[in-house]
Structure 1
Amino acid sequence: MSIDKKNRHPYLSEGQAYELLRDALDEYDRALQHMPARIVIHKSSHFRDSERKGFLRALYEKGIRTKDFVAITDTDIRLFGDGDYPPKRGTMLAITETEGLLYTRGTVDFYKTYPGAYVPKPLKVTVYEQDSSLESLCEKILGLTKMNWNNTQMDGRLPITLECARKIGDIMKYVRPTEKPQVSYSFYM
């Protein structure tokens, strides 16, 4: 893994991306005895061409045809809501067919208010490889913000895919390069 000196985001070489996805798919196959029909990769930074090539090579080798590569990043763009409250949770603004803004926190109709303490920020969703619509991908991301059962909050800003990855990353920084990381998710709980 390398670090982009300009924006301090880590990125993978083509070989590293290939090995990462290949190994993850091998583990999935070992555990469930079959390959998934579809792969969606969420990333908290933009995809580089080398990463996309590596991931696509692994998918091709494993015979997985349906894929979506989605970058979920921060943005300084804000939308105005109706009246005194911020936009509704789930508000999505398509900028292009592959780029949009998604409010994962916001006003909730059931409460008739915004249950947060701070003005919510939307997520910028950018799709790099696309077999699903932007709207469908944002709907899934919104659903994944409600899956953190280790939290009493109704929703999170980030989908569980990125939230969990950050927490595992906090633990992984203590694993020596010579050690093989644990595969079981329960190890990281």
Structure 2
Amino acid sequence: YPGSFVPRPIEVIIEKADSDVRILAKDLMDLTKLDWNSTDFCKRLPATIAVSQKVGNIIGELRGRDIEPPSAYSNYM
């Protein structure tokens, strides 16, 4: 493992699910890949989610003013 910390295993206990266990496991593994890089040491959310929420706020503001927001994500970078 090339990182500076030893990875810790994740225990998953599924009490009730409509989805296949393999799909749930894949979704959980995908969530471990979120980008936590930030200059703020006490961030509550991964950078990928925080940025998505900010883009959502921009789109909501535009739609609130009856402006159709651009669909290309690069417009929000």
Name the TM-score, length of structure 1 as normaliser: 0.27
Q: Which runs of 5+ in 1 are unaligned?
A: 1-87, 99-126
The answer on whether the counterparts of 2:36 and 2:45 sit within 8 Å (CA) in structure 1 is no
Task: Write out per-residue CA displacement over residues 34-60 of structure 1, whole angstroms, 9 at most, x where no aligned residue.
Answer: xxxxxxxxxxxxxxxxxxxxxxxxxxx
Q: How does 1:129-144 map to 2 (within 5 A)?
A: 129-130=19-20, 132-143=22-33
Residue 96 of structure 1: SS of its match in structure 2?
coil
Task: Write out per-residue CA displacement over residues 134-165 of structure 1, whole angstroms, 9 at most, x where no aligned residue.
Answer: 3322111101x1276xx457xx84472x3332
Structure 1 residue aligned with 2:57: 170
Structure 1 vs Structure 2 CA RMSD: 3.6
Aligned match for 2:35, one of 136, 146, 164: 146
CA distance in 1, matches of 2:72, 2:12: 37
Greater fraction of residues in helix: 2
The answer on whether the counterparts of 2:35 and 2:47 sit within 8 Å (CA) in structure 1 is yes
Larger RCO, structures 1/2 (Cα 8 Å, 6+ apart):
1
Q: Percent identity?
A: 21
CA distance in 1, matches of 2:47, 2:11: 18
Which of structure 1's runs of 4+ aligned residues deviate more than 3 A?
Answer: 88-91, 127-133, 156-159
CA distance in 2, matches of 1:179, 1:90: 46
CA distance in 1, matches of 2:36, 2:75: 19
- Give 1:90 deviation, angstroms: 5.2
In structure 2, relative to structure 1, the CA distance for the partners of 1:146 and 1:90 (3 Å cut) is farther
- Give 1:169 deviation, angstroms: 1.8
Residue 35 of structure 2: SS of its match in structure 1?
coil
